[in-house]
Amino acid sequence: MNESKLNYHSPEKILKLQESGVKIPDMNSVFVGQEVKLERIYSGCTIHPLTRITGSKTHIHSGAQIGVSGPATLENSWVGENAIVGNLGSVTLKNTVLGPQTILGAGAAEHAVFLGKETMVNDFTTGYGFRIRKGSLYEEDASSAQHTDTKMTVLFPWTTLGSSINFCDALLAGGTGPGLGFFSEVGSGTIHFNFSIRGDKATASLFGDVSSGVFLDQERLFIGGNNSLLGPIKASFGSMTAAGVRINGSLSPGLHFGHALPKGKIDYDQRIYLGASGIVTKQVDVLAELTALFHWYQQIRIGCVALNPVQKFLYDSGLRMVELNYQERLAQLNLYVDAIENSLCFLSRSKKVSKNEISEQKHLLDHWPDIEKQLVSPAEFELMVPESLTNSIRQQQADGKPAYTELIQGLSPEGKQKGKEWLKTIADSVRIVFAAVKKKEK
């Protein structure tokens, strides 16, 4: 590697890093940018050959292994204790946070957060060929296999994605444990289609919800392999799909066989938007659940569960991903409403569109500036957490249950119930912003 000596710490400083307890098998092939504070590379970590580390925000904690099976590039990334970067090949990390025990195979991640592993039922967080993009949040023990792609995606504890999957603009919850048959799963070859035929992205889907899902006591969801998921979808806990099917709309508990498209063709003008009220309702529903998750992070994870600065940093990072997802969904919803405005002139010329559809869209456009103003930030829907929930958390901590998933599953029945009611009230306060406008229209 031919690197400019002006941009990296000198060999003498790298030697001192090694003398401080950092394991560097080949100092000649490890490059650490001058902006990196060497005291943030902790004793006990291992930096393997062909590793480049840059960025003033970079931290590498004790026990971490960087570049195990191939070149590794870290830029402004935070690597927790005993995390493994690149156990299957080369890895690039940019502005990414890895919690303790995270195990990344080979691939790239940017502007993403992994909260780490609490169990070792499986020995990976991501497999070979991963692409984890902006706004991806993998909570405890969430994982993905080979050749997976996520962006603006939230995976709850224990949820898993199979191989060759594109799962963007979605939230996946559900499941009661890390063992087979207990966690929510998306089968290999499945794609969540997050663009409509018109190119809009008011298509985010909910698989489970936040208000109940965060308590880790809900039936798992199972999405079969080679599914075509047409967002926006709303799937209830306990819903399942067969392999090789086409899915859209709402999924109730039970096994769904999907539906095929009829043969032939129809006249279609992509400038005309139909069913706009239903689309906006579903996207506000996503905003509602993300708002509940925002306050769960702020008041529960950060305010109650975090016992040390490392945990607080991880949960702060997770909260940032939740906010990114919220703002992305609101931005896409604004673009969708702009497109509806353009659509109206074509609707008025069409004899096939009902007057009710035109009236609904005009009503939406008239009231959208006020709706958008009310939805500008999830922080605006704050509601204080019930004491029965926080007291139950403290009791679990006093009983020596520091692991997040163990603590949550050990909450008292009263604490869980009050917590679910609290989060549902927050989510409903978001939903009612649009529901009230729809009611006025009627």
| Chain-centre distance for alpha carbon 419 | 22
pLDDT in tens, 47-68: 999 999 999 999 999 999 999 9
Question: Residue 432 above 60 pLDDT?
Answer: yes
**291 burial via Cβ count (<10 Å: 0-12, 13-18, 19+):** buried
Q: Which domain holds residue 393?
A: 276-441
Taking residues 309-326, report their average pLDDT.
98
Check pLDDT > 60 for residue 442. no
Assess if residue 374 is contained within a domain.
yes
Asked if residue 183 belongs to a domain, the reply is no
125: helix, strand or coil: coil
Residue 266 banded pLDDT, cuts 50, 70, 90: confident
Residue 304 DSSP one-character state:
I
Return the structure tokens found at 312.
């607080």
CA 71 to CA 46: how far, in whole Å? 13
- The band of 1, judged by pLDDT with boundaries at 50, 70 and 90, is very low
User: Beta-strand (E) ranges in 51-152?
Assistant: 51-54, 59-60, 65-66, 72-75, 78-79, 84-85, 91-94, 97-98, 103-110, 113-114, 126-132, 137-138, 143-144, 148-150
User: How many other C-beta atoms are found inside a 10 Å radius of the C-beta of residue 108?
Assistant: 18
Q: Evaluate whether residue 325 is within a structural domain.
A: yes
Q: Is residue 255 part of a domain?
A: no
Per-residue pLDDT tens digits for 326-383: 999 999 999 999 999 888 878 777 667 788 888 888 999 999 999 999 999 999 999 9
pLDDT at 130 over 90: yes
CA distance linking residue 314 with residue 96, whole number of Å: 11
The Cβ of residue 102 has, within 10 Å, a number of other Cβ atoms equal to 25
pLDDT at 344: 82
What is the C-alpha separation between 141 and 424, in angstroms, rounded? 25
Domain count across the chain: 1
For 353, the token pair is 């569109």
Residue 38 one-letter amino acid: L
Q: Which phi and psi (to 5°) does residue 94 adopt?
A: -130, 125
Considering the domain boundaries, does residue 370 fall inside one? yes
| Assigned domain for 348 exists | yes
> Which pLDDT does position 351 carry in this prediction?
67
Instruction: Give the residue ranges of DSSP H helices in 114-234.
Output: 210-213
Give the percent of the chain with pLDDT over 90.
83
- pLDDT bracket for residue 441 (50, 70, 90): low
3-state secondary structure of 17: helix
| Average pLDDT value over all residues in the chain | 94
Tell me the H-state helices in 160-271.
Answer: 210-213
Residues 180 and 169: their CA atoms lie apart, in Å, by 25
Instruction: Indicate whether 440 pLDDT > 70.
Output: no
Residue 219 Cα to chain centre, angstroms: 20
User: Which residues, at least 6 apart from 5, have a Cβ–Cβ distance to it below 8 Å?
Assistant: none
Q: Which two tokens stand for residue 295?
A: 């306050």
Of residues 154 and 277, more confidently modeled: 154
Which range (109-118, 135-144, 192-201, 311-320) has the least confidence? 192-201
Distance CA(368)–CA(186), nearest Å, equals: 35
Of 162-166, 199-203, 245-249, the least confident: 199-203
Asked, for residue 333, whether it belongs to a domain, the answer is yes
Residues 191-205 have a mean pLDDT of: 92
On the question of pLDDT at 5 being above 70, the answer is no
Query: Does 309 reside within a domain?
Result: yes
Is the confidence at residue 387, as pLDDT, over 50?
yes
Predicted confidence (pLDDT) at residue 279 exceeds the cutoff of 90: yes
Q: What SS3 state is found at 68?
A: coil
Residue 420, pLDDT > 70, answer: yes
